[in-house]
Amino acid sequence: MKNLGFTKRILGMDMQKDQTIGVLCLSLQGYLKKVVERFRMHEPKPVSTPFPKILITQASSFEEERREM
């Protein structure tokens, strides 16, 4: 068995250790970057989505329902 020192990466997580204050920080930044590039999300394309239009009559019924609750 051989001591290779502190682990810097395990299961895609980057690890940083500060023994002076007793903190272990885990980061998934490298893993998430790979996932984003794999699914080609690093160059997002804007898409318009329909916004529901609420009629004035519907809005008044929402207020009535809210008061009943």
The full set of domain ranges for the chain reads 7-43
Structure token digits, residue 6? 């502190």
Confidence check: pLDDT of 58 > 60: no
pLDDT digits (tens, 9 = 90+) for 12-54: 888 988 888 889 899 999 889 888 889 888 787 887 777 666 5
Please, are residues 43 and 49 in contact by the beta-carbon 8 Å criterion?
A: no
Q: Is 0.75 surpassed by the pTM of this model?
A: no
Q: Give the number of residues written for the chain.
A: 69
